[in-house]
Amino acid sequence: MIKNAFDRFRRSPAFAGFILFLVALVLNAVLQGPASFFTVKSINTLFAKNAPFIIVTVAQSLLLIAGTMDISCGVQVALVNVVIIMAGQTLGLPFIVCCILGVGVAVLASLACWICCSVFRLPALLASYALTYIIKGINVMIMDVPQGKVDKVFYKAYDSQILGFIPVSALFIVGVLIIWLYVRHNRFGTHIYAVGANPRNAFAAGISPMKVQLKAFVLKGIFIGVAGICITLMIASGNPLQAEDYGIRSLSACILGGLGFGGWGNVACAVFGSGFYVLIQNSVYYFFSLLVKLIPGFAVTSYWQNFVSDIIIFLGLLMTIVTAKGQRQALKEGIVRQFRRSDRHYDEPTAAKKGGDGNE
């Protein structure tokens, strides 16, 4: 039973991302030291700093499964951040109300992208790229310079642990994943895969691709709102120009995890891909920090750290793409064999019947 479950997982799109995640996890633990890495403080810091990015990657994966994308996710996170801070600072609203308002703004921004991509049929990449600068301008109009603050009780709670070892920031990720699991196991979850795989066939089956993508964008907007709340609690202030690179980074993280464009993969791919992305950047940082300690006079800029981590991520992308291509080919061959086997079982009784009639 365990062997069969492992075989199914090995053939799933998330397997390549899982292997990359494990490699990055081991590498990070070795460079940082197991005693330092596997501590409550270290794990809590890892989740607190990267929860917004992981949630954005999950949101991006929903759109990729539905056959579209939105690279303006990053500036939408910043939009939520500035709305939360300025609503509390200028209107005097309670923080919880400001968070709800921020989520609503994120949904509106997602609907704007849906109108461009699904209603006007503009290419998703170009439409969301243009929206990036529009939303960035709105962010600066609302908040021209970084400012504001969050009450200590809220950001301290975000950076704390439940029962002394469960990071509160991780609960935001778990909550998003629970919502996705609920969605995945109802009719909308089936429709989103059908539309992503082939919109024309889905429409012929009575499924409206436009409505399905509308729901996907709304759900993605809610997730972006949650990510915006997390980043607000993380920095405890407002910054209109932060997280802009989350859009492209989340897209690459999804591909790293094995997610394909249109009905191929699942949210587990996004989790493993974003986990690899985060851990490999940590590993590169600790690797260069170790070189500084071992080699007297050795110094390196952040440019070289980013360069090395991007090279490793690029190699991971190549590995995932090649693996996913092989999995798709194997799946296609398996389906063809199933059809041939069905045809053979259908033809054998027919031939036997004809033979029996001839003997009579």
- Asked, for residue 358, whether it belongs to a domain, the answer is no
* Confidence bin at 309 (pLDDT 50/70/90): confident
Distance CA 234, CA 254 (A): 23
pLDDT at residue number 305: 79
Does residue 18 carry a pLDDT above 60? yes
Could you give the number of structural domains in the chain? 1
CATH code, 23: 1.10.3470
Supply the pTM of this predicted model.
Answer: 0.88
Question: Which region holds residue 82: left if phi is over 0, alpha if psi is between -120 and 50, else beta?
Answer: alpha
The predicted-structure confidence for 70-88, as pLDDT tens digits, reads as follows 999 999 999 999 999 999 9
For residue range 237-254, list pLDDT tens digits in order: 999 999 989 999 999 899
Q: Please report whether residue 349 resides in a domain.
A: no
Q: What is the CA radius of gyration of the chain?
A: 24
Q: Is residue 357 situated within a structural domain?
A: no
The domain in which residue 106 lies consists of 2-343
pLDDT, tens only, 134-183: 999 999 999 999 999 999 999 999 999 999 889 999 999 999 999 999 99
Domain assignment of residue 359, yes or no: no
133 occurs within a structural domain: yes
Most confidently modeled of 13-17, 220-224, 265-269? 220-224
| Any domain includes 261 | yes
Lowest mean pLDDT among 55-59, 114-118, 196-200, 257-261: 257-261
Establish if 236 belongs to a structural domain.
Answer: yes
Tell me if 355 is assigned to some domain.
Answer: no
Candidates 160, 161, 140; CA nearest to 152 is: 160
Categorize the per-residue pLDDT at 343 as very low, low, confident or very high, splitting at 50, 70 and 90. Answer: low
The Cβ-side half-sphere exposure at 45, using a 13 Å CA radius, reads 9
15: pLDDT confidence band, cut at 50, 70 and 90?
confident
Q: What is the mean pLDDT of the chain?
A: 86
DSSP secondary structure letters along 127-171: HHHHHHHHHHHHHHHH-SSSB----HHHHHHHT-EETTTEEHHHH
